Every structure is written in structure tokens, then in C-alpha cells.
Amino acid sequence: MRRNLIVLLALLATGAALAGVWSVIAAPAPPQYDTLALKGEYVDYSELDGSIPGKLVRELGRQAVLLAARDELGLATRDESLGELDATATPLNPEKTFALMPRVRTYWKGNTRLHLEQSRLEAAPGTEPAPTQPEEQAAIEPLQFGGPSLRPQSIYATLANQWEEQAHGPLVETLREAGVRGAAPKPDPTNLPDEAAMLLVEDLSFPAQYAAVRLAHQAVAEYGASAEWLGVLARSYAHLGMLTEHHWSSQPEVFYARALLYAERARRYGDGKETLLLRPYVLAVCGAHANALSELKALGPLGKEAPAWAAVIEPTGRFDHEGLQQLADDRPELRPLALWLAVSHKRTLGYQRAFRDVAYPALEESPAAFGVYNDLVKCYPSLRDQRRGAYGGPAALASELPLRLVGVADLPEGVLASSAPAAGWVGEMLEALPGGRVTPFEKGPNQIAKGLRRAERELTAPCEPSWELLARLIEEEQFVMAANYCQTMYNATEASHTTEAAELHRLVSDHRCARYIAVHQLPKHLHYDPETLAGALVEIDFLEPRYNMEPLIKQMLYLPRTDGWNAGYQASWSAFNSPDLRLPSLCEEIVAGYQTWWEDLKPHRHTQVLDYYEKVSPHSPHWLRQRLWLEKEPSKQQLAEWSEHAKSDVSSSQRMANHLVAAGRADEATEFFERAYELSPSSDSVIALASHVREHVDRDEWLPTLQRFLEEEPEIGLGHTSVESHIAKTLISDDHDYAAALPHAQRAAQSYSADGLYSAMVANEGLARWDEADHWAKALSTSYPSARGYEWWLYRTRTGRGDPAEALPPLEQSFLEHYSYVTRWAEADYLATSGQLPEARDAYDAIGAKYDSPHSKAFCHLVAAILTYELGDAAQLGERIEAAERFATQSLADNPKGRNAMRLCLGLLEMEADGDEVDLNEIQQALDAIPDGGGRLDYVGLVGLILQVTDQESEAAERWLRAAVQGPPVDLSIANLAGHHLAKKHGVSRTEPISARPDAADAPADEHAEDDAPAEADNEAGPSDD
């Protein structure tokens, strides 16, 4: 109802309040130029020395130039950072357009420098470029100003104030001296927004916010500025920034900069409470929380004269979810805004349940808030939620966009004519999704964008903002949705998506990153193939990398490298080094990039990042999260200081608990594990709590703790499956109680998640339930052939039950399509057990060379040496033993027992090769001294392998048996080798039939409960840590 009212009133405003605005724009004299075009400066901030990085600092300077041209000189403005200078789409008239390239540098000491250079417009297709000024035009004098030293907690308010002053005076003179003429109408305090305009500001969709800023710019251009219309510009540009925060572009920073500048300019024309509250409001919305709170405090109590929207400033700045939720519940007029701000908080936290609790209500209130659909894909929910985001977003864009565009003043005729949603190619796939038939990715949004461009080209006088901007917003939203769909459609499915990807690529082919979509037309195993990507992604244009582009950046990390570097690493490093000093940007760039770069930072950079978090958003948990992660051994005083703050955050509570355990204070840690579970009763938090209880409190309470979760908490995603699987794995690995584990494993397997199927296979194998184990092994490999196709073949090989040849197809698919750490080990084991010894040795060599684990490298050294002995290559055997000795000396220095075990194995191999007598009891005593977690069973098994290849089968069998049955999970590398040799020794038939089961084991995952499956993590493989 509220949305319909907004649309109706916007229509009335279009037809009455501002009818004919553009036809009566007045100016003292026709200027030479009617448009100022600003080129974009796309800087790699990781290369700058001394100036403050970040897009928003730069954009405040750039947008001040446009503010001077637009609001002081009466020109229309066009910005390359918003995509408005694309000559192939909407070329500008070079005779009427003054083009500039700005370069903004700001320093912490408070000094700022702006270089402006005249520039050429990009030529329209089929035309020659023309200079915007005569060649003899003098250079533009740099603009410089200074002020107090800048601080992270107040930088944007300070700079916005300074740049607004420059835009009112010095910048205007600079533009006039460069040849720009014009004047804007005088301010008019009686020029007030009507109700339709204010309702558009409250509608949280980018078409409505575009409509609001368009109305405001028209009103100011015709009748003169007022504090109230500037307030509309400040709030709507802030909303545009918030609503485009997920885009793969610099649009959010442009909008936030304009919002800050207009909040400042409003103070020039009014000093009422509503006007003064604009600045803290914009700061809160953009995520500069400390700055917003200090500005709010300076204004004193809100009082009755404060506008309703001011109520969200304090809970937003204080990261107060409960306060925002209370506003949403108590104040209907604030519900959409309060819920959206809560979403913007919770998207940074990574709590599945907490995010879901606010995301769906937010979409109910604001179905055209398309960023929430993006967050459902990105914010760690279940696969069901990811698919709702990936599929629901395009459907919402197709249906909501035309509805919202009705409110845009003077929308060109015919733009909406061809935009009605129709059944599409994706809709055929999705009829079974909850909520009925969904038809994402219609052509309607693209047709609207084309209509807007056509209207822009036909204009006789430029308007503000351009139709090109609205077209770009539509296309950017459509592209991000296409990228999310590609990311989701391969998650936990094995079907080919070539057709969908091809259709998506045609839909977004004009986007600068469209080749990322095109890559998904390739077979899955080529998505990360360096040679394929080198050709497929060669023309990708990042412009400015940011971690919203993480799927593309991660893909480009696989490009061929020169000196360990490539375009992916360059983009990643640049994004990581250029966050804005506002919480959403810090979380986007630092949190997403830390796994790649955190360890490479020097200590002072760690301190700097922590300082940014604490000063920018001191009430959020992020600074404490980072502090608890960075501090390896915090003092007792530090833990006491952080204690209360940690209890407001799941991650901080768990990290605090871990520090207390490490400090020998396990009894105190229990409170923090319990608090983490209370804040987010998820499978992860209950497993962490139960594991702590088992190890440090009361072992008998471990299982009841987990069972209470299963009984009391609803199933979200694969939460129950994860807990059941954890119970089964723990009972097997810690207690060797396969019988107790079995019912939990069987229940986990009913979801047909990979983890559940694996647990059932292991539990049944441990109980010698061969038919059942084979059923689940087959189900695992045939349901997930790319990621887990090797499991069935290895099961049959290590048990000697069934014909391994039957299991070869998924095994081969796995090696082809998912060549990960796990499948490398599986392939090496496959080659070794199938008699392909030279190839097996090469495979173990490759694993040892690629991965950093010292124990994995030691294992590979030893197996490769044993295979060399078995191949009869005496010369190379000596070289390999020497190389392995060097490795043991250099790389196992901090693990003397492991180093000694490796040397004993090498000595045994060398003595057997030389025919010397060996004391196996002495070797066994040394191996028994290796503690749990030190790889003892791997070395026991390796001794068995040495004895096996030296024809001491009876001695070997004892070691094989220990390695095969005492070190679950059963499919570790040494267990595979051990089981294979034991099966051969005892003559178990490999071709005896496995009895058929009524429920076919090869049922595909998509026919089961896999809709709730999260992205599957590979299980451990390779050497054991016991």
C-alpha cells in the first residue's frame, strides 16, 4: 500500500509540481559551455606514498568541482566515475562540454592539493576527437589549502566542510579563469519540497532515490537552492550510496561524497535542527560511526523539532541492532530504513541466523532494495538462502523496476513500453522453488536502459542527473546479479550450466567485466585453469578493484604469474590497500583481503588497521575481533579490559574463550563459549561449546549439549546435519566407537550433503558393514563426482570389496574437474595402488613441491623414495635418501621426534637396500614415542610399506593393520595404501558383487535435501595428524 502511494504521489508531482521545469531554466546569458565533464582518476593507492588512500577522500575533491560547476555556475555535470562519459552510449557535444581531469591528493597533516587539467572527450564512433579548449589555453593553477591534521574518526566531516568552502569560492574562480561561464539562480528559502518528493526519499530503491535527486536538482536549477531541497539531495545521495554498496564500481563513493557536500551546503542556507542533523545522518548511513556520534552529541538532545529519520542516527552509530529493531517495531514510518541499516550492520558480522532474521523482514518492507538479495548470496547463509538471493534478485529487478520508474519526473515516453516481465529461460528451471514460479533475468531492465540512452541522445539540453546514470545503475545491478547467479549455480551441483552462462553473457555483454560471466560457459574444471583464464580474462578492465569483485579477483589469482605476481594479485593488493575509513569499506577490503595479505603486512600496518577499526566504529565488534586475532598471548589485564565488550559478539566471545584456555583458565572460558552460543545458536557455536565442555569441563556433558541443540533449535541450512556429522566423527576419531557413531552418521547422510554421506561411509566401514558402506561411498562419489568422485574407488580398493572398475568414471571426473589438494592425494594413492609406480612417484613429488606442510612434505619424500626402491632404481634411490635427509635436518628442526622417525624410515630403507640386518623393535619404540598429532601412524604405515616392498610381508602386515584401523578417518593416504596391501595379502575378492539396495545409491544430490547445503569444504586427506 505504501509503495502504491509513493508511486501515485510521484506521478502527481511529475504532472503538476514540476511540470515543464526544463523548458524554463533561466540563465543570465547563454554560456559557451552547458556541461562540465569530469574524467575519472583510477589510482592504484598501494603505490602512493604519503597521501591518504581510499575512494571517498578523492571523491570529495572531485565532486566539489562538480558542485561548483552545477550549483554555482548553473552547468549540467557528467562524471566518468558514474559511467556518464561513454561515447559509444551517449556521446556529449564537444563544443558545449568542458572536460577536466582532476587529481586529488590529501595528506594526514591536513594539506590538500587539487590539480585540474583540460582533457579531451572520447570521440563518438565514426568521428574525430575534438579538443574542448584551444591549444594555447594556459595551464590551470593548482588549488591548495590546508587545515588541522586529519583524524580517522572525523576525516570526512572535516574534508566535506573544507571542500564545500572551496566549491563556493576558490573553485568557482578557478573554473572561470579556465573559461567556464555561467550563474545559478539565487537561493530561495521559500522553495520547498512537496510530499511526493519526501516520499520518494523514504522509498529504499535506487529508482526512487534517482527520482528524488532529479526532482531536487530541477527545483534548485529553476528556483534556487533552499536548505530543504539540499536536504533531499543529501539524504537521497546517501541512500544511493547505501543501496549501491554492493556494486563492482566506485558509484557508492561518488554518491556518499555528494551527500556529504550537500549536507554541508544546506547549512549555508539554513540552521534549523533538521538541516544540522543532515551531516550526522549521512555520516551514520555511510558507516563513519564515530564521526556521526560526535556530530550528534554536539547538537544536543534531538527535541520535538527533530525529523523522524534522525532517530536512526544514534543506534546506527552505536552499532545497536536491538535499538534499530526497536525502532522498526515501534515506528512504522522508520521500519524500512531501520531494517536496512540493521542489514548493513549484520552483513559485516557473518552470522547466518542473525542476518537471516533481519534480511527477510527488510525485503518484505523494501522489495526493491536489491542489495539484500546480494547479501543473501554473500553473507554465509545456507544454499537455500543463496539461491533465493541469486534467483529472487533478478525477478525482483524485472518486476519492481518498472513500478519504481513511474515516479521519475519526465520519464521519456516509451521507456517502459517493452519492460513487462515475461516467462524466461531461467523460469523454466525454478518452478519448484519456494514461493512459486520465479522468472529472473528478463530483458525488460535492458530494454529500459536502452530507452533511457536513446532519450539522453535526443535531448536538446542536458538534464541533471543524466538518463545515462540511471541506465548504468540498472545495468550494474543486472551484472552483479548475473555474477551472483554464476557463483551460486555451481555450488553443490554437478549439472552443466553452459546454456545459462551463455544467455547471461549476452545479457551483460557491454559490462567491462562481462568476460567473468563468459568463463562460466566453460566446463567447470577450466574455471581456474591458468592457460584458459589467460585467454578468457585478458580484456577485463577493473578500473578500480574492490573486494565486491572477489569472485573475479580470486579467479584471476590463477592467471599465469611473472615473478609470483599477476593481474589478480595486483587487483587484490590494490583493493586491500585502499579502504575508506568507514566500516562497510573496512570490512569489504580488509576482512575479504586479509587471508591473502595479512601475513605480508609489517607490524605497524597491523596496528594501523586496528586503529582504523577502533576509531571509525568503536562500538562495533570488529576492532576487538582483529585485536583478539592479532594478539597471540594477551596479558591478563588486556583480557579483563576486553571481557565485557567481547560478550556482545560471537566471534569475539569465541576468540576470548580460546585465549583463556591457552592461558590455563579453561573454567573462565566456558562463560564465553556459552555467550557465543546464546548470541547465535548455530551448529558452529554449539560445536565449539560442546568441544570445550568435552575437553575441559565434563566429558559426559558433550553429547547432551549437542543433543539439546538438535531438540530445541530449528533446522536452518544444514545445521542439524553438521552437528550429527560432528558427533559421528568425534565418536570415531576420539573414541573409536563406530557403533555409537552409526545412528548419527546415518541421520546426517539423509540430507545427502557430502559431509553426511562421508560420515555414513566411514561409520559403516568401521563396522564392516560392507554393503552399507559401499552404498554411501557410491552415493558420495556419484552425487558429487567433481569434488568427491574418488571416494568410491578408494573405498573399494582399500577394502577389497567390489570391483574398483565400476567406480572409475566418477574418479576420473574428479581428477579432471576438481584438481585440489585432496584430489591430488587421491590421485597419487590411485596411481600407487593400481601399479602405476613412476606416475605415482611423480604425483607424490608434485604434492611435496606444491604444499607447505612439513609433515606432508616428509611423507611425500618417504613414499617417493620407497617407490624408487620398488622400481629398482638404485642410483636415484641414493639421491632421494640424501635429499630427504637434508629436508629432515632443515625443515623438521622444531619436531625432533618426527625428524628422528623420518631418519629411522630412511635408515631402514637404506639398510634393506644394502642387505643389512635391522632391529625392528628399536624402530617401533622410536615410533611409539611420537605423540598424537605428530603423524605416528603415518610413519608406522611407512615402515610397513618398506617391509612390504622388501618382501617381509608378515612383518609388514602388523604395521599395515595398525595404520589401517587405528587412525580414522579411514581414507587418509596411509590407510588407503595399508588397506590395499592387506586386501591383497588376505586374498579378498575385488570382483565379488555388492548386493543391490532398494534405495539407489547413485541418486543425484539435487533430488535430496541439498537445497540447504552450504558450499562443501574438502575433507582432510593426505598424511594423518592422528
Lowest mean pLDDT among 7-16, 272-281, 778-787, 812-821: 7-16
Q: What is the pLDDT of residue 764?
A: 93
- C-alpha to C-alpha distance for 637 and 629, rounded to whole angstroms: 17
Q: What is the pLDDT of residue 1006?
A: 36
Q: What is the pLDDT of residue 47?
A: 64
Q: What is the pLDDT of residue 123?
A: 65
* 13-20: Cβ within 8 A, 24+ apart: 13/194, 13/196, 13/197, 13/215, 13/407, 13/409, 14/407, 14/408, 14/409, 14/410, 14/411, 17/194, 17/196, 17/197, 18/215, 18/218, 18/219, 18/409
Q: What is the pLDDT of residue 439?
A: 37
Q: What is the DSSP string of 893-905?
A: TT-HHHHHHHHHH
pLDDT of 1026 strictly over 80 = no
Q: What is the pLDDT of residue 934?
A: 56
pLDDT of 223 strictly over 70 = yes
Q: What is the pLDDT of residue 675?
A: 96
Lowest mean pLDDT among 7-11, 319-323, 408-412, 968-972: 7-11
pLDDT of 245 strictly over 60 = yes
- C-alpha to C-alpha distance for 440 and 485, rounded to whole angstroms: 10
- C-alpha to C-alpha distance for 544 and 580, rounded to whole angstroms: 13
pLDDT of 714 strictly over 90 = no
pLDDT of 293 strictly over 80 = yes
Centre a 10 Å sphere on the Cβ of residue 815 and count the other Cβ atoms it contains.
18
Query: What pLDDT band is residue 376 in, cutting at 50, 70 and 90?
Result: very high
Helix boundaries (H) for 750-784: 754-766, 770-783
Q: What is the pLDDT of residue 39?
A: 93
Q: Please report, rounded to a whole number, the percentage of residues in the chain having pLDDT higher than 70.
A: 85
- Cα 972 to the center of its chain, rounded Å: 31
Q: What is the pLDDT of residue 174?
A: 95
pLDDT of 979 strictly over 90 = no
Counted residue by residue, the chain has a size of 1026
CB of 582 within 8 A of CB of 622?
no
- C-alpha to C-alpha distance for 404 and 386, rounded to whole angstroms: 25
Q: What is the pLDDT of residue 987?
A: 64
Encoded amino acid at 937, one letter: L
Query: What pLDDT band is residue 48 in, cutting at 50, 70 and 90?
Result: low
Q: Which has the higher per-residue pLDDT, 791 or 905?
A: 791
Q: What is the mean pLDDT of residues 522-529?
A: 79
Query: What pLDDT band is residue 590 in, cutting at 50, 70 and 90?
Result: confident
Q: What is the pLDDT of residue 1009?
A: 37
- Cα 86 to the center of its chain, rounded Å: 29
Question: Model-level pTM?
Answer: 0.85
pLDDT of 726 strictly over 80 = yes
Q: Which has the higher per-residue pLDDT, 542 or 698?
A: 698
Cα four-point dihedral sign 1014, 1015, 1016, 1020: negative
Q: What is the pLDDT of residue 671?
A: 96
Q: What is the mean pLDDT of residues 567-584?
A: 89
- C-alpha to C-alpha distance for 588 and 548, rounded to whole angstroms: 7
Q: What is the mean pLDDT of residues 957-975?
A: 61
Q: Which has the higher per-residue pLDDT, 71 or 1013?
A: 71
Domain boundaries defined on the chain: 1-30+187-318, 35-124+131-178, 382-524, 527-600, 779-1026
HSE-CB at 221 with a 13 A cutoff on CA atoms is 27
CB contact set of 237 (below 8 Å; sequence gap of 6+): 209, 213, 255, 256, 258, 259, 262
Q: Give one word for 819, left, alpha or beta, with left for phi > 0 and alpha for psi -120 to 50.
A: beta
Task: Provide the 8-state DSSP code for 81.
Answer: G
User: Strand runs (DSSP E) across 822-948, as ranges?
Assistant: none
Query: What pLDDT band is residue 1001 in, cutting at 50, 70 and 90?
Result: very low
- C-alpha to C-alpha distance for 977 and 947, rounded to whole angstroms: 13
CB of 811 within 8 A of CB of 789?
yes
Q: What is the DSSP string of 981-1018?
A: HHHHHTT--SSSPPPP-SS-TT--GGGTTGGGPPPPPP
Query: What pLDDT band is residue 46 in, cutting at 50, 70 and 90?
Result: low
C-alpha angle 882-885-886 in degrees, rounded to nearest 5: 90
Q: Which has the higher per-residue pLDDT, 827 or 911?
A: 827
Give the residue among 415, 418, 369, 378 at the shortest CA–CA distance from 396.
Answer: 369
CB of 508 within 8 A of CB of 517?
yes
Q: What is the pLDDT of residue 815?
A: 85
pLDDT of 690 strictly over 80 = yes
Encoded amino acid at 605, one letter: R
Rounded to the nearest integer, the mean pLDDT of the chain is 84
Cβ neighbourhood burial of 735 (10 Å; 0-12, 13-18, 19+): exposed
Query: What pLDDT band is residue 212 in, cutting at 50, 70 and 90?
Result: very high
**Residue 115 forms beta bridges with which residues?**
103
User: Strand runs (DSSP E) across 740-853, as ranges?
Assistant: none
Q: What is the pLDDT of residue 16?
A: 42
Q: What is the pLDDT of residue 997?
A: 37
- Cα 765 to the center of its chain, rounded Å: 38
Q: Please report, rounded to a whole number, the percentage of residues in the chain having pLDDT higher than 90.
A: 51
CB contact set of 575 (below 8 Å; sequence gap of 6+): 545, 546, 547, 549, 553, 589, 593
Q: What is the pLDDT of residue 56?
A: 97
57-89 pLDDT, tens digit per residue, is 999 999 999 999 999 999 999 999 999 998 777
CB of 900 within 8 A of CB of 923?
no
pLDDT of 1015 strictly over 50 = no
- C-alpha to C-alpha distance for 472 and 543, rounded to whole angstroms: 15
Strand order in the sheet with 76-79: 76-79, 35-38, 97-106, 112-118, 143-145
Query: What pLDDT band is residue 1007 in, cutting at 50, 70 and 90?
Result: very low
Residues 403-419 as b/e (b if ≥16 CB within 10 A, e otherwise) read bbbbbbbbbeeebbeeb
Q: What is the pLDDT of residue 5?
A: 47
Write the CA distances from 95 to 132, 134, 578, integer angstroms.
7, 11, 37
Q: Which helix (H) or strand (E) holds 102?
A: strand 97-106
Residue 807: strand, helix, or coil = helix
Residues 1-37 as b/e (b if ≥16 CB within 10 A, e otherwise) read eebeebbebbeebbeebbeebbeeeebeeebebbbbb
Query: What pLDDT band is residue 578 in, cutting at 50, 70 and 90?
Result: confident
Q: What is the pLDDT of residue 956?
A: 72
CB of 96 within 8 A of CB of 54?
no
- Cα 536 to the center of its chain, rounded Å: 22
Q: What is the mean pLDDT of residues 324-336?
A: 96
Q: What is the mean pLDDT of residues 339-368?
A: 90
Q: Which has the higher per-residue pLDDT, 1012 or 955?
A: 955
- 574 grid coordinates: 590494490
